[in-house]
Structures are given as structure tokens and as C-alpha cells.
Amino acid sequence: MAKKKATSENPVTLKDKLLSLTWDELRAWSDSRSVERGRGYLSNVDDPVRFDDGSLVSVVHGSDDYYTRLSLDAEGNLLSECSCPVGYRCKHAVALALVCAKLFQEGKEIEKADMGERKWKKALEELDGTLEDDLDEDFEEDEEDFEEDEDFDDEDDFEDEERGNQPRKKTHEASAGKDGKGTTEGDTVRTYLAELSDGRVRDLLHELLDGVSGVRTYLSHKIEVERASDSQLVRMARSAIKNATDGSFRYWDWRHGECEEPDYSLVQEYFGLLAKAGSWKMLMELGDELKHRALNQAECSDDEDGEISLQASACLDVVARAVMASDLDPVEKVKWEQNIHSGDDFCVTENMEVTYLDALEADQTGWSRVADYLLGKDRKVHGVGETGWRGTPREIVTTLERAGRAEEAVSLLKEETGIVQYQTELIDLLLHLGRRKEAEDVCRRNLAEETVRGYGSNAFLDRLRKLADENGDAKTVAVCDLVSFLSYPHDGSFRKLQESSEKVKAWKRVREYALRYLEDGRDPANEKNWPLPPLPVKIPKPDELQFPKYSALIQIAILEKRAEDVLAWYRRFLDNAKGKRAAYGYNSWDSLSWEVADAISSKFPDEAVAIWMRHVESNLEYTGDSYYRTICKALAKMRPVMKGQGKLSRWQEIVGGIRAQYKRRLNLMKMLRQMESEGDGLIAKWTK
């Protein structure tokens, strides 16, 4: 479907884009795997900054330090660039997007970058691909340190490799025009060529043939393709498919070196020419052949970034467009699309963008026949409890609407009670038809069957809140925010609840009851003179969930600057965690300790220093730059606090002791020198 372009009267900003970004949109923009990995990289993202062009940039720590940038194109679409081997829409970009979105949700602004800092100059150079010689010298120095560090552990790097941090051929998003060749310079060349006489153009071509490598090969290929018949193009396409899918390829890694990636570009070119010739039947056959050969290639390849899927899907999109524009029966077009996606055990077709819902053009009769096929009306027997549907609820609803059978879609979805996806589709359809009261009733009916379980976002609750907001029902908005907070209590949902409760002058009571719930699980609405409507969901019994909710109570105490409560809840949290095995080796105390130490450092400096020192001691057990950065971060936070206590000499003793005991860790020594050279200004660099 064509995307709505931002108008000049109401342009989309990067902040707007990130604030409105949903998980589904993020997964569609990147991919599910990168999104999950990016969620685990949030603590690796330095404080982002804003460049002059409005883009947001940060350093994201992985197996190396990567510069990552987010921006928008002219149509308001999200773009990313990263100095990591993947180059764009990577886990680092996902992590930066999530961090920036959280900052904006909290009402914080991202400061403008000081371009006088070499760090941001380097970021600009790396992201724009114009590295200076002195950066190469820095790389050589780092490489020497790497070789000299006798404590280097191969297993650390292997773990990074397993997490997907291998170097790789970089592919930058939206790179055309950045070097000028796609815009100004290209226009200049075209203007120059237009002014030449035919004779001078021929002379210029002969000069290129004789003097520029690759021009003859390129033109020979163009001549061969343009003169080829349809049957010859088919043979060329089959040969290209075989060449592209023969053998396996391995992801780049430091043990094996760079391996050649598969190249499906010729396949896509020949498919495009056959599509222009209207050879859609042959394209269907070739597309099926490509799919099965790509599946075999994916099975024996190390394709962590899904390169095979990206290239195969681009080729199959050409086939899909040709099929949808053909004179094939509409139902047969749908069957073809379902068949091309079936049996795809290695997801080689998952990146296809063309779907029959977007590309198929049919009248109401055609859409009605498609709807009947998807509904399985040609099937005589269904299994017990089966709908017999061949399509998803979204496909069923869309095809019935286009067939003029919207009421039938409503009836069908009403019959499928208890299934969340069907019920959300029903709500959306009722809203589309303007039946808002019915949509609200469906929301409330489904919510009444649910219990607060810590599920975070809830499709029915989100829709009910949106309806209430549009209807001006501020109390229902507030009670929806209360349920969201109870489901996923944290500082962000607490602020949102405060904002909506203050609008109906109920914040004092709501805050009291919400905090009480976090402590002992009591239903906050079972009180006299409760200022909001009844909660639309059930509240679990206190013994059904674990209370107190330490993390939320600590975060809210930090938010409200109640240092005594922060420390008290943190101590109780540590006492509760004693003797419990950390899940997957994860230190639960570490998730909150940085925020806690920052929050209590003014009032309880000794306790804050003890927390930071714990980070120093625990990370000294390991080797690797990520651990060394954490050590320097903790030491940098300790310095001004201890200096304010008159204990600067003690801080220097700690650093000196680390130097003496770990002098063979050359990279750690280098970072300590850099940190100490910053003096009192080291906080800005090392505590991010």
C-alpha cells in the first residue's frame, strides 16, 4: 500500500516517529531477531545527542564501539546508519531507537552534540564514510594493544561472535546522493551529456571502452539482454538462478576471513525483463525453482543476517507483481501466493513485500470469490473446533469488506469468542464501520475476562483507552492508565498515570492506592469514595503474584527524589535476593544499582560509593574492553563523590592498586590513563 506522505504543513519529526513507533512497526523495519537483540543492548547505548540535521547519534558498545545514527527521509520514514559491519537496521539501531523513544516518553530532550569534540567529528566521518588518516593510526594503536594484552581471552570474543557481532560487509541505507554522485554531480554530468553533439557522444563512448575497466563488459551484457528473445531470457534466468544458489556461503568471522556473499542481482534483472514481456506463467515456474534452490542454499549456509532471504524475496516480489497484474483468476493468484510461502522452513520468502491484499486488483465479484476461498466454503468437512479458514482474520475481513460483505465479517468474528486476534479484528472493523459503542462493548467484555498478570501492553485496553480519549471520557482514560501501570509498573507508566489522574483531580488518592498495591497487592479500587470508575479487569489475589514489586518501588522513589526510600527499598531488595540463584547468570542487583547509586549519592555518599566499588570488583574478574569500560565508569562516578567527602586520596589509592595488580591488562591501563587525564571533567566522558 502506498504510504501517506508527510505534508509541509504538518511534517513528521524524528521525535514524533519514535514516540508513535510500535513493536510491530519496529520488527517490520528491522527484523524480529534484531529487535530482540536490540532490547538486550539498551544498557550499551551511550547518552544520545542531536546533530545539526536533526538526526540522533550515539555510541553503542558491542564487540567494538559503533557509531549509530537515526534520521528520517523526505517522506518521514525512519532511516538508520551504523559503523558496525551490518550497516543499517541492525540491533544497535534498534537499541538506539528504543533508548531515544524512552527519553522522549519521559519528557526529556536530547542535547545537541558539541561538534568541537573529536568523538562526534569521528562519528560524522565514520557514518559518512570519510575516515581520516589519523583514525587509521588509532586503529593500528588499538590493534597493537590487542596483540600485547596477555590477558586476552579467546572465549570472550567467541561469545561476542555468537551474539552476532561479527564484522561484515557494510551496506548503508539511503546512501545514494551522500557522495554527490546521485544528486548534484549526477545532474551536472547529465547536463553535460545533453549538450554534446552525437559525434562527440560516440567519441566519448569509444574513450570509455578503451580507457575504463568494466565498461565493455557492462555494455556487452546490456546488448545481449536487449537482443535476447523470451526463451533466451528464460535460459539466462535459469543459469543465473543456478549460479546464485550453488553452494553455501559463510558469515564473515575473524577465524575464517571474509567469504563471498550470494548475488541474486542477475536473477532479479532477468525476472524484471520477463515481467515487462508479460511472461508471468514462466515467471511463476522460475519463482518456484528459485525458492527451492534458495531453501537448499539457506539450509547449508551460515546466514545470520538473512542475506539469502533479502535477495530471494526481492526476486520473488518481481514475480508477485507480474502475477497480480496478469489475467490469471483472482483465486489462483491467491493460491500462488500461499504456495510460494508454504514449506519455507528457512524463511527465504519472509522478506517479500508484495501481497495480494496490496497488489491484486479485482471487482466486488472477484473479491467475493477470493473471500469464499479463504473462508473454505468449498470444503465439505471441518475438524472439530476448526474454522476451516484458509486465510488470517485480517485477510478474511479485508476481502469481505472489498466484496461488500462487511456485515458477514462482523458476524463471523463475533462467533469466534475467546480468541484475542479475532476479537481485536472485530473491534477494528466495528470502528471502521463507525459503530463505536459496539466496539467499546467488545473491549469491555474481553477485558472483564482478564486478570492483571504483568502482561504489559494489552490490545483491548489500548483500544478502550483510545476510545475514551476520543470521547472525552477522562476518568476512563485514567483508569486504563492505572491498569497499564499495575500490569507493568515502572517510572514511565507511573508518570503517564499521574498525568491522566491529575486531569480528573484524583492523583493523590490514585497514587496512594497504586503504591500500596506494589507493596502488598491489595486491590486499589476496593475503597470507599474511589475517585475513578471500576477497573475493567480483575485484580489477582495477593498470593498469586510476588510482592513487593521492588524494581517499580525503587524507580518511583528515584523519580520522586525520595533518597531514603530508594535506599530502604534497595536494601530490602538485596536481602530478598540473597541465596536465590540468578536466572541465566544474571545479577539482579546490577539492573538497578547504577540508578540507585546516582539517586542516593548526595545524601548517602558512602552507600553510593560501596555500590560503584562493587561494580569495580565484580568486573575486574574478567578481561575485555566492555568490562574495562564498566570499571572506568564506576571509578569516574566515585571520584567527585569521594572528593566532596575529602577522600580523593583514597580514590587515588584504589586506582593505584588496580594499576599495580592488573598492569598486564594493557587496554585497561590505557583506559585508566585516559580517564585520569580528563581530571574533574572525566565524568562527561566515562559515566555515560
DSSP per position, 386-447: ----SS-HHHHHHHHHHTT-HHHHHHHHHHSTT-HHHHHHHHHHHHHTT-HHHHHHHHHHHH
| pLDDT tens digits, 542-587 | 667 788 989 899 999 999 999 999 999 999 988 887 755 443 333 5
The maximal CA–CA distance of the chain, rounded, in angstroms, is: 94
Q: Give the mean model confidence (pLDDT) for residues 377-395.
A: 69
Is a pLDDT exceeding 80 seen at residue 177?
Answer: no
Using an 8 Å Cβ cutoff, are 555 and 485 in contact?
no
Average of pLDDT values for 673-677? 80
Q: Mean pLDDT across the stretch 606-610?
A: 96
Distance CA 509, CA 512 (A): 5
Higher pLDDT, 218 or 329: 329
Helix (H) / strand (E) containing 80: strand 78-82
Lowest mean pLDDT among 99-113, 171-185, 261-275, 325-339: 171-185
| pLDDT at residue 10, as a whole number | 52
Contact 5, 63 (CB under 8 A): no
C-alpha span between 686 and 633 (Å, rounded): 5
Q: By the 8 A CB rule, do 61 and 626 touch?
A: yes
State whether residue 342 is helix, strand or coil: coil
pLDDT value at position 220? 79
Q: Provide the pLDDT for residue 678.
A: 61
More confident: 382 or 597? 597
Burial string for 340-366 (b: 16+ CB within 10 Å, else e) reads bbeebebbbbebbebbbbebbebeeeb
Query: Residue 363 above 90 pLDDT?
Result: yes
Q: What is the mean pLDDT of residues 305-316?
A: 88
Q: Which three cell numbers stand for residue 487?
A: 500490569
Distance CA 491, CA 552 (A): 7
Residue identified by cell 491467491 is 334
In which band, very low, low, confident or very high, does the pLDDT at 205 lie, cut at 50, 70 and 90? confident
- Could you read off the pLDDT of 33-83 as tens digits, one per residue? 788 788 778 878 888 998 888 899 998 887 778 889 999 887 788 888 888
- Provide the pLDDT confidence category of residue 402 given band limits of 50, 70 and 90: very high
- 129: confidence class by pLDDT, cuts 50, 70, 90: low
Task: Let me know: does 628 contact 667? Beta carbons within 8 Å.
Answer: yes
Spatial CA neighbour of 596 closest among 629, 626, 572, 628: 572
- Model pLDDT, residue 21: 82
Interatomic CA distance for residues 51 and 120, integer angstroms: 9
- The three cell numbers locating residue 207: 574513450
Give percent of the chain with pLDDT exceeding 90: 41
* Contacts of residue 683, Cβ cutoff 8 Å, sequence gap at least 6: 636, 637, 639, 640
603: pLDDT strictly greater than 80: yes
Question: Model confidence over 462-475: pLDDT tens digits?
Answer: 999 999 999 999 99
Report the amino acid identity of residue 226: E
Contacts of 398 (CB under 8 A, 6+ apart): 357
299-322: average pLDDT: 87
| Mean local confidence (pLDDT), 131-142 | 38
pLDDT at 373: 93
Residue 132 has pLDDT above 60, yes or no: no
- Of 9-13, 138-142, 456-460, minimum mean pLDDT range: 138-142
Q: Among the residues of 129-256, which ranges form H helices?
A: 133-148, 154-162, 184-195, 198-211, 215-227, 230-245
Closest CA to 448 of 525, 536, 541, 534: 536
Task: Measure the CA–CA gap between 401 and 387, rounded to whole angstroms.
Answer: 19
**Predicted pLDDT of residue 145:** 42
Question: Under a CB-based contact definition with an 8 Å cutoff, are residues 486 and 478 in contact?
Answer: no
Q: Binning pLDDT at 50, 70 and 90, where does residue 454 land?
A: low
Mean per-residue pLDDT for 523-540?
80
Q: Residue holding cell 476520543?
A: 470
Of the two residues 205 and 647, the one the predictor is more confident about is: 647
Query: Residues 182-196: what's their mean pLDDT?
Result: 70
The rounded mean pLDDT for the chain is 81
**What was the pLDDT predicted at 213?**
74
Average the pLDDT over each of 109-118, 256-265, 314-323, 508-517 and give the range with the smallest value.
256-265
Min mean pLDDT across 386-395, 627-636, 649-658 is at 386-395
Q: How many angstroms separate the Cα of 621 from the Cα of each of 524, 632, 658?
A: 46, 14, 12
Residues 405-427: pLDDT tens digits?
999 999 988 887 777 888 889 99
